[in-house]
Chain A
Amino acid sequence: MRRPTPLNSRPGKNLKMEKNSFVKPRGFLEKLKNIFSSGPAREHIEDVEEALIEADIDLEIISGILEAIKRDKISDYEGVKKLLKDIFSDSLNQPSVAPQALKKVIILCGINGAGKTTTAAKLSGIYAKNGGKVIFAAADTFRAAAIEQLEAWAKASGTRIIKGIDGGDPAAVVFDAVKNAKNGGCDMLIIDTAGRLHTKSNLMLELGKIKKVVLKDYPEDEIDTLLVIDANTGKNAFSQAKEFNESIKLTGVILTKFDSSAKGGSIIRIAHELRLPIKYMTYGEDAGAISVFDPQEFVDKLFD
């Protein structure tokens, strides 16, 4: 078993891949508990609203929750907790979420600074752990030194990398990588694309082109197209997911920087409305700081 060595391990920060391996800096809705120690829920409707808003949960979902509390005359913390757990689990457990199967190709996309390159490295760790042979495609030819960044990770973990030149055509890099992956007996191709704002239509078209290149050699169901979203993002996360989904048809989402005290509540609307599964979450700078996302565990953790 080969584990990628973290490039710059910080003392005391070596998180392992096992579940429950990290603790949120602050309990997600711990606030709620305190609220209810002093009276029935209906009297605290505003406090409940505050706690939910501060978790970046969508306003419409919140208004539904508040109405349910009033309608069902829920009066204690346990009741509210159960209601929230039910609603969140329902949203996150989409029927479209098939059990995780390892796909042959992963395309990572997202806005600038979401954490795509680091996530690429982390994902390669998971697949390498399962004995798979991974190839990276360094398809971010735009940002200065993006290729070097992925290269550094590749070197540390002994992963093969296909790259082009700065400013080159990313689709051409992907074309080479696909050919290499097909011929070189590789089990997994991870494509790191340039960060792009979902509002730039020309860049979204470029992304479509990249997928088309992959589709020439791999059937759709062997490709995971994953959007990388920063847990610190607010309402815009939904807008990102919606636009990327329309452009490139996502198969899931990866939530990054979850070791922040941000609650990441924005994924609830994404899962609920776009029926997209959240596949992984990451929580640190070391190569091992990634977990398969488990909706139940996530929801349980909200109330720890």
Chain B
Amino acid sequence: MFENVSGKLYDVMRKIRGTGVISEKNIDDALKDIRMSLLEADVSYKVVKSFIESVKQRSIGEDVLKSVSPGQQFTKMVQDELASFLGDKNSGLDTGRRPMLYMLIGLQGSGKTTTAAKLANYLIKEKNTPRVMLVGADTYRPAAKQQLEKLAAAVGAEFYTEEHDDPVKIAVNAYKSLETKAIDAVIFDTAGRLHVDAELLEELKKMKAAIPFTEILLVADAMLGQESVNVAKNFNDAVAITGIILTKMDGDARGGAALSMKHTAGVPIKFMGTGEKTDRLEPFYPERIASRILGMGDVVSLVEKVQQSVTAQDAKKAEEKFRKANFNLEDFLEQLRQMRKLGPMEEILKMMPGGAGLSNLNIDEKEMSHIEAIILSMTRRERNHPEIINASRRARIAGGSGVKPERISRLLKQFAQAKKMMKSMGKRRHNIPNFGGDFPGGMGF
């Protein structure tokens, strides 16, 4: 039932938008759904409460009810408020002073070691700081140092550690070694520890007292539940963190923990990890995560992804077809191929507005190959006018593509449905003034 919260929210907002009329009851209904959506996204109970309160206040203060397009204004307000809860803008690393000294801390398994390598890679490739040193100060987890050493070699960073069990000593000696080394940035990788482990928090305090860190970054899993508040609070109380890095954002967690932690610690979320490879570190964009948490899809990222892999000309052509809905199987094939260039369909769909509700939709990549084969076995005329496909044509196409004839009927039906959907999307476009502009791509309500 609650899995469809984003769908429900979508409905409520569409209703508001469709009629252009908004009442206090509408707003209350919408807020109720937003509340459930946020809780389902693992935003902490108390943070949800204060968020809803603040939206309510603003909707009264801004006189949403009397504005020209109240539905749209309300939607935008919720978005804005959430984005501002998440931090106003993406703030990068503090790179003011050389050498930069960054310490990564967090729970076990949050992704500190991998993130250390990603940060090093980012500094080397994008920040023009080629001389980066990774310090292996996790003396607890077996082979943690070896892991960091291998990753350091892979990204072209120096590696420092010592063969004993005193992490504070390793960190301090690494810091001291800078006197004789030409290094731009040092990243200290620490052992994972629970936020309720006083003894190990003490160890972090010792490191902080001994080394003038530029930043102390909390590495946190996007899948954290309600505990995220305590995680952020306790680490922040212990060593005053300066930022948060959110990991495993390539999963399907909605990432409500981001909101809770930002709100609790009052520090910016600086990056997010989006894959296992060392180049999968992205700047954090509050407005994108805002829509993801609300279950509205990450349209901005989708647009960017499309822009990366589809040429402007292709896109224009497709858009034209889209609007006129004179879309044929030939175009479908082309779209299919373009889509596949973007990556696995499941990931793409999840970025789309309302796509959260499609999470059960199982898209089989093999199935896509079948579809491709079927269309390729059609004549040009059949592709342009699929309605002419009769039983004998169907049998021929089935033979050519190696599937059962029923599969072809199914595809034709699916295509007809898709075409219908496109027609309605083409209409909806009129409500979306500025796709990909500063108001994140008509968040699709």
Residues of A within 8 A of B (CB): 7-8, 10, 12, 25, 50, 53-56, 59-60, 111-115, 118, 142-146, 148-149, 151-153, 166, 197-202, 230, 232-237, 239, 257, 259-263, 266, 285
Contact = CB atoms under 8 A, between A and B. Distances in A.
B225 A198 contact: no
Interface in B244-281: 248, 250-254, 256-257, 276
Contact of A115 (B40, B108, B139, B344): B108
21 contacts: A25-B196, A54-B45, A118-B141, A142-B276, A144-B147, A144-B154, A152-B143, A198-B252, A202-B344, A230-B109, A232-B225, A233-B225, A234-B225, A235-B41, A235-B254, A236-B223, A237-B223, A237-B225, A260-B107, A262-B225, A263-B227
Contact of B226 (A8, A112, A234): A234
Given A112-B276, A232-B231, A260 B225 contact: no
Interface residues of B, number: 55
Nearest to A202: B344
A200 B276 CA distance: 11
B163 to A, nearest CB: 13
A56 B228 CA distance: 11
A8 B139 contact: yes
B147 A235 contact: no
Contacts of A233: 221, 223-225
A232 B224 contact: yes
- Does more than half of chain B's interface fall in helix, strand or loop, or is it mixed? loop
B113 to A, nearest CB: 8
A252 to B, nearest CB: 20
A138 to B, nearest CB: 11
Most buried by A among B2, B39, B40, B194: B194
Contacts of B151: 144
Nearest to A284: B194
B365 A201 contact: yes
Q: List the 6 shortest-distance A-B pairs measured between CB atoms, nearest first.
A: A234-B225, A113-B109, A152-B142, A234-B42, A145-B147, A148-B143
B360 to A, nearest CB: 10
Nearest to A52: B45
Given A54-B45, A145-B143, A234 B223 contact: yes
Contacts of B257: 234
B342 to A, nearest CB: 15
Contacts of A239: 252-253
A118 B199 CA distance: 21
A6 to B, nearest CB: 10
Contacts of B110: 113
A56 B225 contact: yes
Nearest to B344: A201
- Does more than half of chain A's interface fall in helix, strand or loop, or is it mixed? loop
Nearest to A243: B252
B176 to A, nearest CB: 24
Interface of B: 1-2, 36, 39-42, 44-45, 107-111, 114, 139-144, 146-147, 149-151, 154, 165, 194-196, 199-200, 221, 223-228, 230-231, 248, 250-254, 256-257, 276, 344, 346-347, 365
A236 B3 CA distance: 12
A237 B221 CA distance: 12
Contacts of B225: 56, 232-235, 237, 262, 266
B165 A8 contact: yes
A50 B45 contact: yes
Contacts, number: 152
B196 A261 contact: yes
B256 A234 contact: yes
B218 to A, nearest CB: 13
A141 B344 CA distance: 23
A67 to B, nearest CB: 13
Contact of A114 (B109, B144, B196, B276): B109
A190 to B, nearest CB: 16
Contacts of B223: 111, 230, 233-234, 236-237
Contacts of A56: 42, 225-227
Contacts of A262: 225-227
Nearest to B36: A59
Given A166-B150, A235-B42, A237-B225, 4 more contacts: A59-B40, A148-B143, A149-B147, A234-B223
A5 B195 CA distance: 25
Nearest to B165: A8
A27 to B, nearest CB: 13
A13 B256 CA distance: 33
B109 A260 contact: no
A261 B226 CA distance: 10
A113 B276 CA distance: 12
Given A25-B196, A50-B45, A145-B143, A197 B344 contact: no
Contacts of B256: 234
A255 B45 CA distance: 23
Contacts of A166: 150
Given A59-B36, A262-B227, A236 B251 contact: yes
A28 to B, nearest CB: 12
Contact of A148 (B40, B111, B142, B250): B142
B80 to A, nearest CB: 25
A263 B36 CA distance: 20
B42 A199 contact: no
Contact of A55 (B111, B144, B226, B230): B226
Contact of B221 (A148, A232, A260): A232
Contacts of A54: 44-45, 226
